[in-house]
Amino acid sequence: MAFVTRVLHNNRPRSAVIFVLFFLLMEGGTVHAQTLQNLGNGICLDSSTGLMWQIGHGRRLDDHGKVEQYLTALDLGGYSDWRLPTILESKGLRLLIDIHGNGPCGIEKPMARYWMVDPKKGMVPVRLELESFCRGIYSLSAGKRGYVRAVRAATD
């Protein structure tokens, strides 16, 4: 970490700092601790955001009504208040998986198209396609069908 401080104080380019942070992450550094935790009941907890993620997924769905039915019927880990994630929440999960690997949760098909909530368009099936790893930039590839990966806020 002292090296990162020297890089920052010596006015090195931002890309050099990003590379150093990436290197530390890949080498098990303490810059960003692993935050995904498998709760053992089909749920993955992201302790940095407090979000609980469904590990598995159902069939691909092509209709808003079917997506809402799936969420209403979902009773996972004794919780029934599951919802679709926002695109921002999904990007956060995907970035953790891209940086740390699928780790203890074993999230199924992280690169597939999933239903998410877009602030302007509402419910949309979208695939997050990595554009820039160092900057964590993803483009959105919309489609007509997608899986549901439900999320809820951890209250315990």
* Cα–Cα distance, 70 to 108 (Å, whole number): 17
C-alpha 81/C-alpha 72 separation (Å) is 8
Q: Give pLDDT tens digits for 11-26.
A: 444 444 444 444 444 4
| Number of neighbours of residue 11 by Cβ within 10 angstroms | 6
The pLDDT value given to residue 19 = 46
Name the pLDDT band for 104 (thresholds 50, 70, 90).
confident
DSSP H stretches of helix in 85-131: 87-100
Lowest pLDDT segment from 1-10, 75-84, 85-94 = 1-10
Please state, rounded to an integer, the average pLDDT across all residues of the chain: 79
Q: Is it the case that residue 130 has pLDDT exceeding 80?
A: no
Give the pTM: 0.74
**DSSP 8-state code for residue 108:** S
Q: Is 128 helix (H, G, I), strand (E, B) or coil?
A: strand
Beta bridge partners of 79: 76
Summarize pLDDT for 73-85 with one digit per residue, the tens: 999 999 999 999 9
CB neighbours of residue 107 within 10 Å: 20
pLDDT band of residue 156 (cuts 50, 70, 90) is low
State pLDDT tens for residues 13-67.
444 444 444 444 444 443 334 688 999 999 999 988 999 999 998 789 999 999 9
Ramachandran angles phi, psi of 42, nearest 5°: 85, 10
